[in-house]
Amino acid sequence: MIRIQISRQLALIIASLVAITFYKFWLADVYSLRAIYAPQDDYLFINLARNILDGNWLGEYNQYTLMKGLFYPLWIAFINLFEIPLLTAQQLLYALSCTIFLLAINPHVKNKWWLILIYAFLIFNPLSIGVDRVLRLGIYPSLTILVFTCAYGLYSRSISARSSSIWWAVGLGISLAAFWHTREERIWIMPSLAMLLGVGLLQAIYKYKTKAVGFVLIYMTPVVIVYSSTLSLSYINWKHYRIFTPLEIGTEEFKSAYSGLLRIRTETFIRHYPVTHETINKASNVSPAFREIKPALLAKSGEYPSLNFGMRASHFIWTLRDSVQASGYYNFEHAIDPKDIPETLDLYKRIGHEIHTACDSGKLDCATLLNPFFPQWRMEDNAQILPTLNQTVTRLVTWGGFDYKVNDMRSEPFYPETNMLETLLLFRSVTNESLRPHRRNAANYLPEFEQDRIHVKRKTVRNIWRNFYQRLSPVFFIVFSILIIFRFIYEVISRRLQTMTTFSVALLGGILSHSLIMTLIQINAFTEVLRRSQFTVYPVLIMFIVTGFIVSNEAIRQFRTNNKDKD
């Protein structure tokens, strides 16, 4: 018989972590899932997951099928198999990511009782509670924690030549693959990963020269897993739709057409409106392929009063695809001669080729883009970078822009359901959740005791947010940013680089990288991206503050040791 013995301290710590987790779940239960018929968000993910569960892969291919990363609908379908409610599963994933973070940093925490406080600080992140829709925000922060944590686990264990480094490498590969196929702005995390893994590999090879090949193979494991996941999704899509890609906007054909339209210069500049009616007219003059979709594109722009002079950046990527579908592509069932997916990609290819050729020959006055999806950058935009970056970082570290007193539905767009009963039944079947319809006055129909319970929980979350995170985070962020930067420089110069210091710098780099990307998007594309996109960086901010305390403590211990040696 195998007996497992644990110390009293460990037992109490585990019991405390479990109690904290249950309390977090109780707080998070304040929100019921909203069944929203948003064809580009909630309903899209639900419909894709439904098709996966039905054994039809992603279902009938249309303009939305491969518009967003596939991991979230796969996650929804996977959770459904175990009949776990979606919001509960997302809270479990977040708790798991926090626990793995504790395991990764555990060797650096001398007083193990601090693990309880660290866990509470991370798991009570207020933004991990308020997601009550079927959105990727429900898992993206958890995946971010897992990617950073597993990367650090691989780095720290490999330079100690521990056999567990291979498991951290596998964990990094799985979490990074899920992260990579969840949202499209994933590139922000790569500088931090490159730093962590690059420094880790160099230190490991330098320290254990005879094991260099083994370390290279271990560090290649995450790359192989991520690449294999991309190839697998691409192959499945090719098998079903004859399109070899995990994401349609990543195809050269679509990027060519989209970037071609963004390149065209116009006499009138309207910020956040990269494609105006003038752009459409100029494109149609040089592109016969674009003329096929011009009527549908103009009709779509007329559906929105704000688009009467052009296409807002936040809408255009969707409006373009809707227009292509309305013109008979994407297997449009109402078309006289519906075009299949290869023919749709060929249309994008022809549009891109014709516009880019006109640009290169001088028929059109065109700009050079920083990125195929990024509107034209003007010299006067440079003056806005620092002020906007400052506002973005300030909003992050002060936890600004969120108020749990406000009824969250007041700030949400209203999506009319085409069939309310059908929508509720579909959401209920796929998510296993108790639902409430997306109505601004839905809470008024709840019993009084339930309204009181919701009020107590929201007030608790608000107090946690304002009294702890909002007040303490700015101070800690400023202090630890200065401390860690100087500490990192000192360790590099003295050639005594510590793993926790490197991890802290990587986390700080992730915060700044994400903030810089959001800054550029706000200046030149659209401002409404900020609120949702910052959800994923709040856990990084918390991890940075935690590592700041650890680095400070290690620096103090080293200072005391040096003084004793001198004495």
The sign of the torsion formed by the CA atoms of 389, 391, 394, 399 equals negative
Query: Would you state the pLDDT for residue 235?
Result: 96
Give the span between the Cα atoms of 333 and 336, in whole angstroms: 8
Query: Would you state the pLDDT for residue 563?
Result: 67
- Mean predicted confidence (pLDDT) in 226-250: 93
Query: Would you state the pLDDT for residue 424?
Result: 82
- Tell me if 147 sits within 8 A of 175, measured CB to CB: yes
Least confident segment among 68-82, 194-208, 324-338: 324-338
Residue 363 has what DSSP assignment? S
CA angle 181, 118, 120 (to 5 degrees): 80
Least confident segment among 117-121, 136-140, 169-173, 531-535: 531-535
Least confident segment among 134-143, 172-181, 285-294, 297-306: 297-306
Query: Would you state the pLDDT for residue 560?
Result: 75
pLDDT greater than 80 at residue 487: yes
pLDDT in tens, 256-281: 999 999 999 988 888 888 888 888 88
In the structure, what pLDDT confidence band is assigned to residue 411 with cuts at 50, 70 and 90? Answer: very low
- In the block, residue with structure tokens 């995170």: 469
- Mean predicted confidence (pLDDT) in 170-192: 93
Query: Would you state the pLDDT for residue 127?
Result: 85
- Tell me if 261 sits within 8 A of 283, measured CB to CB: yes
pLDDT greater than 70 at residue 4: no
Query: Would you state the pLDDT for residue 439?
Result: 58
Query: Would you state the pLDDT for residue 402?
Result: 58
Residue from 331, 375, 108 nearest 366 by CA: 375
Give the span between the Cα atoms of 219 and 200, in whole angstroms: 9
- Mean predicted confidence (pLDDT) in 46-57: 94
Q: What percent of the chain has pLDDT over 90?
A: 47
- In the block, residue with structure tokens 């730093």: 195
In the structure, what pLDDT confidence band is assigned to residue 414 with cuts at 50, 70 and 90? Answer: very low
Residue from 139, 163, 152 nearest 100 by CA: 152
pLDDT in tens, 420-444: 778 888 889 999 988 766 555 666 6
Which pTM value belongs to this model? 0.91
Query: Would you state the pLDDT for residue 20?
Result: 95
In the structure, what pLDDT confidence band is assigned to residue 566 with cuts at 50, 70 and 90? Answer: low
pLDDT greater than 50 at residue 53: yes
In the structure, what pLDDT confidence band is assigned to residue 202 with cuts at 50, 70 and 90? Answer: confident
- Mean predicted confidence (pLDDT) in 455-470: 82
Q: Comparing 92 with 1, which gets the higher pLDDT?
A: 92
Least confident segment among 106-110, 189-193, 285-289, 552-556: 552-556
pLDDT in tens, 330-379: 876 655 566 788 899 999 999 999 999 999 999 999 998 888 888 888 88
Burial of 348 (0-12, 13-18, 19+ CB in 10 A): buried
Query: Would you state the pLDDT for residue 307?
Result: 47
pLDDT greater than 70 at residue 309: no
Query: Would you state the pLDDT for residue 301?
Result: 66
The Cβ of residue 117 has, within 10 Å, a number of other Cβ atoms equal to 13
Q: In this structure, what are the phi and psi dihedrals at residue 33, rounded to the nearest 5 degrees?
A: -70, 135
- Mean predicted confidence (pLDDT) in 514-543: 83
Give the span between the Cα atoms of 69 and 66, in whole angstroms: 7
Length of the chain: 567
pLDDT greater than 60 at residue 401: no
